[in-house]
Amino acid sequence: MFSYLRKRFSRHLRERSRRRARLVSKDGRCNIEFGNVEQSRFVFLIDIWTTILDLRWRYKMTIFISAFLGSWFLFGLLWYVVAYIHKDLPEFNPSINHTPCVENINGLTSAFLFSLETQVTIGYGFRCVTEQCATAIFLLIFQSILGVIINSFMCGAILAKISRSKNRAKTITFSRNAVISKRGGKLCLLIRVANLRKSLLIGSHIYGKLLKTTITPEGETIILDQVNIEFIVDAGNENLFFISPLTIYHIIDKSSPFFHMAAETILQQDFELVVFLDGTVEATSATCQVRTSYIPEEVLWGYRFAPIVSKTKEGKYRVDFQNFSKTVAVETPHCAFCLHNEREAKAKEKKGFDNPGFVLSEVSETSDTKM
């Protein structure tokens, strides 16, 4: 019992360590970091719009709140300075005929409230700028313009963050595993993908990349070498009618990197299959990319996907997502090379073969008939 638990625990640790090495997670996030970058981080401030959009929500909301509170407090100090220089504050005991730059500013708190009312255009009517000071009029114009810029930028950033096509990609899901089985008489690698919304993706295109470590004939080791994997959909690779789950497949032929793999050796391979789905969101016309990845432990040899679409008595088509990632064992050749040789042998049997030892001897015919 103890040895069984130890083996299972060690196998779990091996699988876990291998899963951590994947470049793309199942939800599409890239597991990569940049070190010793020579460029300064100041370059990210040049493209401040993209930097703000890429920030997480907690950092974005912190910047959002800090920008407004900071601007209100800064201009509140400026309004207090204007009132202090013009001696409008109560500690200066202004005369009855004294006209202040800003009515009813009695201290720093009232200056902050006036700054808030000015920038967000609340305008309670209790505090207002008079025509006594040109400085106050200029400061009012400057704060109003700057307030509109801050408000437009921050609100636009939040709206763009909410409406990013990245969120639309979360409603596109791939099967948990990829399977290898025969399809149309050919050995294929199959993956199932589904659109969880009724709105379509326009101009969808599916393709894949196989990431592996290769050694060139010159002895150079290339980590994360990318090999193109062509996926086929029965309805066509372009302009998919993506209203129901689709099964995409890759034909394992002589040009496929899976051709020399077998059911017994696929788990010993070191590769990562990354699958991409590009399309345009129908509602916003924004481009969208969905990606996922499969490691050798997630590629099941000798299985196919269970049926998922059925027709109800009312004439509607029903998609049962309970069977979306469910697989069924089927009879499958244990390698593509064996299937290829088997098909060649059958083709030769149909054509027949020549016997080089067969010699046709000619016999002269004589007539024994007498007249």
Domain CATH for 159: 1.10.287.70
The dihedral through the CA atoms of 105, 109, 113, 114 has a sign that is positive
Three-class secondary structure of residue 11 per DSSP:
helix
* 61 has a pLDDT exceeding 50: yes
Do both 186 and 260 map to the same domain?
yes
Q: For position 292, which CATH number holds?
A: 2.60.40.1400
Residue 138 makes CB contacts below 8 A (sequence gap 6+) with none
Write the single-letter amino acid at 110: S
d(CA 161, CA 49): 11
The pLDDT score that the predictor gives to residue 163 is 76
Contact assessment for residue 295 and residue 19, using Cβ atoms and an 8 Å cutoff: yes
Helix axes 57-85 and 134-162, enclosed angle (nearest 10): 170
CA distance linking residue 120 with residue 145, whole number of Å? 11
What the block records as the tokens of 5 is: 């638990």
Higher-confidence residue of 356 and 119: namely 119
Residues 86 and 179 in one domain: no
287 within domain boundaries: yes
- Judgement on whether residues 175 and 140 belong to the same structural domain of the protein: no
Distance in angstroms (rounded) separating the CA atoms of residues 90 and 126:
17
**Domain shared by 159 and 172, yes or no:** no
- Please tell me the distance from the alpha carbon of residue 101 to that of residue 130, in angstroms, as a whole number: 5
Q: Are residues 53 and 88 in the same domain?
A: yes
- On average, the pLDDT of the chain sits at 81
- Give the side-chain half-sphere CA count within 13 A for 137: 5
Q: Say how far apart CA 300 and CA 196 lie, in whole Å.
A: 25
Confidence of residue 208 (pLDDT cuts 50, 70, 90): very high
Residue 86, Cβ density class (10 Å: 0-12 exposed, 13-18 middle, ≥19 buried): buried
Supply the pLDDT for residue 7: 60
Mean pLDDT is lowest, of 22-36, 61-75, 353-367, for 353-367
Domain ends where: 110, 139, 163?
A: 163
The model's pLDDT over 157-206, given as tens digits with 9 standing for 90+, comes to 888 888 777 777 778 889 999 999 988 888 999 999 988 887 778 878 88
Can you give the pLDDT at residue 340?
63
Residues 196 and 342 in one domain: yes
More confident residue, 308 or 237: 308
Q: Which residues contact 97 (CB under 8 A, 6 or more apart)?
A: none
73, part of any domain: yes
Q: How confident is the model at residue 359 (pLDDT cuts 50, 70, 90)?
A: low
pLDDT of 162 reads 81
Q: Assess whether 253 and 200 both reside in one domain.
A: yes
17 is a domain residue = no
Asked whether residue 92 carries a pLDDT value surpassing 90, the answer given is no
Identify the pLDDT of residue 358: 47
Residue 362 within a domain: no
- Residues 142 and 190 reside in one and the same domain: no
- Give the mean pLDDT of 124-132: 86
Binning the chain into helix, strand and coil, the percentages to the nearest 5 are: 35, 25, 40
Rounded to whole angstroms, the Cα distance separating 154 from 150 reads 6
The mean pLDDT value for 274-282 works out to: 87
333 and 225 in a common domain: yes
Cα angle value 268/345/339 (rounded, 5°): 25
Q: Is residue 68 part of a domain?
A: yes
**178-183/299-301 β-pairing:** parallel
**Number of domains making up the chain:** 2
Residue 369: inside a domain: no
**In the numeric block, which tokens belong to residue 199?**
């709105």
User: Which residue's entry shows tokens 């290898």?
Assistant: 180
pTM: 0.68
pLDDT of res. 217 = 82
DSSP 333: -
Q: What is the pLDDT of residue 369?
A: 46
Q: Is residue 52 in a domain?
A: yes
Per-residue confidence band for 371, with pLDDT thresholds at 50, 70 and 90? very low
Whether residues 119 and 172 fall in one domain: no
- Compare 27 and 152 and report the one with higher pLDDT: 152
Percent of the chain past pLDDT 70, that is, above it, reads 81
Whether residue 345 has pLDDT greater than 60? no
Where does residue 186 rank: exposed (0-12), middle (13-18), buried (19+ CB within 10 A)? Answer: middle
Structure tokens at 196: 């969880």
Report whether pLDDT(231) > 80.
Answer: yes
Shared-domain flag, residues 122 and 255: no
Question: How far is it, in rounded angstroms, from Cα 133 to Cα 117?
Answer: 19
CA proximity to 65, closest of 159, 154, 163, 160 = 154
Which residues sit opposite 115 in a β-bridge?
Answer: none
User: Domain range holding 289?
Assistant: 168-348
Residues 132 and 217 in one domain: no
Q: Where do runs of H (alpha helix) occur along 165-293?
A: 165-169
**CA-to-CA separations, 3 to 10, 14, 177, in angstroms, rounded:** 10, 16, 30
The reported pLDDT for the residue numbered 370 is 44
Q: What does the alpha-carbon distance between residue 274 and residue 290 come to, in Å, rounded to a whole number?
A: 10
